[in-house]
Amino acid sequence: MRTLARRLALPAAALSAALALTACQSGTSDASAPTTAPSSAPTPSQASGTPGSPADPATAPAPTTPPKPTKAATPTKAGAPGGQQAGGKQPGGSTSDGPVRTACTAADTKVVASKVSRPINHLVLTVTNVGGRPCNALNAPFVGFDDSQAPIRILEDSKPQAVVTLAPGESGYASVILTGEPGPDTHGRTVRKISVYLTADSGKTVTAPSGTFADDGAAVSYWQRTLEDALVH
């Protein structure tokens, strides 16, 4: 009996040792396995983009259109005072192209002699530019009555500060004093025609107003810009 018990104890001991070895190997295998879990796969909402997220093309902000450049202002031409454009008409009949150097002549003007009520014994000569460009009414006109051999005298104190420049359609004025201080040698006559020379070699003859009477004391003023200035003398 003792021998049989020993024989049975040996296989049992061997089985216990085998089970213990198997348990040790299983524990060692579990310890060496990686402990980091694999990353989770992306959810459908992350892959395709949820509404309202930057990945959603339907709600992504539209690209900003750059502003169009503004057109630069066109510079105005210089040299035109008082806001006048280059080549425009200036006061006094001149243009911004430069000073007028052309004298008014009989060919581009019309001259008329008229009576005035004040001052007495005066006529007014009106010269009008009927040409196509500005001209200067220079100095005083040379005036003669009928067939006189010499022009009447010029009133030197009537000289204006500037030359009278006439644009097309504009007029200038000169006054004619018909009689001077009476004296024993003064001779008067009724005048029918008046010769008006704008320059020494360019003039015309106009009809004197009815009843025009002049004597040796007659005189003429310089050309003036206005009728009022002419009648001062």
* Whether pTM exceeds 0.85: no
Q: Which residues pair with 84 in a beta bridge?
A: none
Q: Is the pLDDT of residue 90 over 90?
A: no
From 147, 150, 122, 103, select the one nearest 220 (Cα to Cα): 122
Domain 106-231 has CATH 1.10.10: no
Q: Is the pLDDT of residue 48 over 80?
A: no
CA–CA separation, 192 and 202 (whole Å):
21
Q: Is the pLDDT of residue 117 over 50?
A: yes
CA–CA separation, 82 and 168 (whole Å):
21
Question: Mind listing the pLDDT tens digit for each residue in 128-177?
Answer: 999 999 999 999 999 999 988 899 999 999 999 999 999 999 999 999 99
Confidence of residue 39 (pLDDT cuts 50, 70, 90): very low
Print the SS3 string covering 145-181. Answer: ECCCCCCCEECHHHCCCCCEEECCCCEEEEEEECCCC
Sketch the domain layout of the chain as residue ranges: 106-231
Omega cis (within 30) before 51: no
CA–CA separation, 207 and 115 (whole Å):
12
Confidence of residue 16 (pLDDT cuts 50, 70, 90): low
Burial 167-191, CB ≥16 within 10 A → b, else e? beebbbbbbbbbbbeeeeeeeeeeb
